[in-house]
Chain A
Amino acid sequence: MEAGTVIGRVTRCSTRGFAGAYPLEGETIPSFGAFCAAPYPGGGYVIGVVYDINIEDDPLARQLASLGDVPVEQILDSQNNRQIPVEFSVLNLGYQDTEGTYQTLPPRPPMTLEPIHLLPEAKLSSFTEDFSYLSTITLNPSLPVDELLIACILEAIEVRPESERKRYLIEAGRMLARILAGDLHRLEQILNKLTPSIPGNSSG
């Protein structure tokens, strides 16, 4: 797979997901709902979605924050030269090997310190054409499922031409309707939040 922008390196991992650390000199900050990939032993790539971005508790930052007036240099230094890394967590949605691309758990997780790339636009578009990933997300209730579903769908339409976006939104919505048919309130809430993204719709 053509590699996209590196956004971090693997710090810990399993077949269900992995975590990465955002580098100090990183140009692209990973965002909630971003699709990314990391290589696993054997020549394949695990594909997943960022569901959490976390900065652990930093005593120095706590001290500075309690001061009334923090100098700008101190703020920038603390943000850019931080002692505690920014960590992001990724839920595995599928993998790609020499045979093809699959929306199921990978055979092996990536190794520690492997680079984590943003999924290139073309690959993101083709991967999300299969809506199984939406079902995978809903099977992880400990995650912010509804918000993640919305973020992923919005990521997926961003890489599509304008003329394709409405179709994709409707089909994604119908997949959600199949998954969430038992909870119409929740379904409607998600669809309402997607509505402003319909091409030609005024934002809500």
Chain B
Amino acid sequence: MESSTLDEFFGPGHSEQPLGFVLSGSLSEGLGVKLDPRYSIEHLAVGRYVVIHGHQSGRTFFGIITDIALGASNPDLTHRPPNMEQPFTLEVYLGEVAYATLHVSPMLMLDETDDQPRPIKTIPSHFSPVFEASAADVARVFGDEDDTHFYVGTPLDMETVQVNLDLERLVERSSGVFGKTGTGKSFITRTLLAGIIQSGIASSLIFDMHNDYGWTVKDESGREYKGLRQLFQDGQVSVITLDEDTSRARGSKIDGALKIGYEEIEPEDIEMLSGLLGLSEIQTGALYFLYRRLGKNWIAKLLDEDPEADDLQDMVDSGRIVAGTLGAIRRKFEAFIPRMGFLVPGAGNNAVDDIFNRLRMGTSVALEFGNYGNTLAAYMLVANYLTRRIHSRYVHQKNMAAGNKAEEPRPLVIVIEEAHKFLDPAVTSHTIFGTIARELRKYNVTLLIVDQRPSGIEDEVMSQIGTRVTCLLDNEADIRAVFSGVSGSSALREVLARLDTRQQALILGHAVPMPVVVRTRDYDQSFYATIAGDREKGVKSRKSTESLFGE
């Protein structure tokens, strides 16, 4: 008999027959459970939840199956297997001489007097019975969906149970969505962002490299899905574009265009691109010198087609800068900057102020890159440029608020893709993104990074990523990176390696009480209707920053 079948037939409440009993283990390594021979190992799966009734204390422990193994009471079995043509002998051997063991990672425990599970500090004793968790058990852990808990998916083989992410905890720390290409990271990210926007807990600034978030997006089969601007039509989401032509051709409804003036660019904005632009260390250092000497017109002068411009020639003649260095910088700028249509001579269009004001008012901004999304240097430049300035404004406002001279800034989540380019060990120590990741929520700004190569992200930064939503990864280094800084998570490696290629994710960290493998929620008409319906009912509530971040 299978307890899952019994649960479906008889309703919630786990089977009376335990899956097995705890026979070994430790707090750090997890528990060894011998499977009752009545259960077939082939009907179990890593990632499933179990409930353990403490044999001595009456406590209930919640755990997750992280490995399944075959064992034998006599090592001779592998050398002397029984006659395979004797089904009676095989049936006798199964469960006694040859048996299955489950490795269970206990995560939470619940005393009889508790109403909320707590992280475990001990483990169940020998012979404690282990049951497959029922829908009621799982619902008890993840709670109900409400203003701050957002339904993101269902646990494996429990389609009636909702896994509700704690949005407040999600935005309290930086978080990440990881997975190899094609596993649905964009869909999951869009779902999470919909939850954040709907709740009003934070504003989001999305650097939408491949136009996946703002407006309609198509999957490989050509099926269309709504973007965030279409889900939230009452001004909660704005789409700003770098490439008006492409946005219009796509039919995107845009709320503005981003133009960055040459005068607004600083050497710090370019430094992050030095690898991509081919700037040497000396050339990168020279940028700061040029900026000091030439002032805000430095870009225009470097791009000036008049090679006899006095300022530059004077610097070369006086030996302040080597002609070769200057020449290299000019060549590289000329190869890049004029091709970027969003970079314009002069002062630009006050994009930073516009975006900052939108964010401050609670509007989330999706920055569409159009065709410029294919140029990594453009993506990094704009992301770095905007983030530095908006972060600076947040720092200023937060400091003012500390002195009671201003309101706390509204929490902000910055969404970046290809995050390993921004958080690579070589650059992260002097980029704004590394700073934001390390400073946690000190200035009410956190990151939501979307990446297929988490191993490319510096370890210290990864350890600051509070919540990790991980789709299938098959690179060992990437799998190790996802689990770095999360104690006891290495037991989940097998779980991660066995995810389906689509619509399954392992969520662990700050925003969930315990790791969970989910079949992610469908992003479809029913989702759209739910978002629209919840808005009409007024489920969303815009929380003041005092109630969210008050000390």
Which residues of chain A have a CB within 8 Å of any CB of chain B? 169-170, 173-174, 176-178, 181-182, 184-185, 187-188, 191-192, 194-195, 198, 201
Contacts and interface: CB of A to CB of B under 8 A. Distances in A.
B92 A191 contact: yes
Given A174-B37, A191-B86, 14 more contacts: A170-B88, A170-B91, A173-B88, A174-B96, A177-B92, A181-B74, A184-B74, A184-B77, A185-B80, A191-B82, A191-B89, A195-B88, A195-B89, A198-B88
Contacts of A184: 74, 76-77, 80, 82, 97
A188 B82 CA distance: 7
Contacts of B96: 174, 177-178, 181
B89 A174 contact: no
A156 to B, nearest CB: 16
B92 A182 contact: no
Nearest to A178: B96
B475 interface: no
A109 to B, nearest CB: 35
A153 to B, nearest CB: 12
9 contacts: A181-B97, A184-B74, A185-B80, A191-B82, A191-B86, A191-B88, A191-B92, A192-B83, A198-B88
Given A182-B74, A198-B88, A177 B93 contact: yes
B362 interface: no
B122 to A, nearest CB: 30
Interface of B: 37, 73-74, 76-77, 80, 82-83, 86, 88-89, 91-93, 95-97
A65 B306 CA distance: 135
Nearest to A171: B92
A181 B73 contact: yes
B372 to A, nearest CB: 69
A55 to B, nearest CB: 36
Contacts of B92: 170, 173-174, 176-177, 191
A167 B93 CA distance: 14
Contacts of A170: 88, 91-92
A182 B72 CA distance: 11
Contacts of A195: 86, 88-89
Nearest to A181: B73
Q: Quick one: which of B76, B80, B97 has the most chain A CB within 10 A?
A: B97
B505 to A, nearest CB: 41
B73 to A, nearest CB: 4
Nearest to A197: B88
A25 to B, nearest CB: 42
Contact of B86 (A177, A187, A192): A192
A176 B97 CA distance: 10
B94 to A, nearest CB: 9
B82 A194 contact: no
A181 B99 CA distance: 12
A161 to B, nearest CB: 19
A178 B74 CA distance: 10
Nearest to A177: B96
Nearest to B81: A184
Nearest to B79: A184
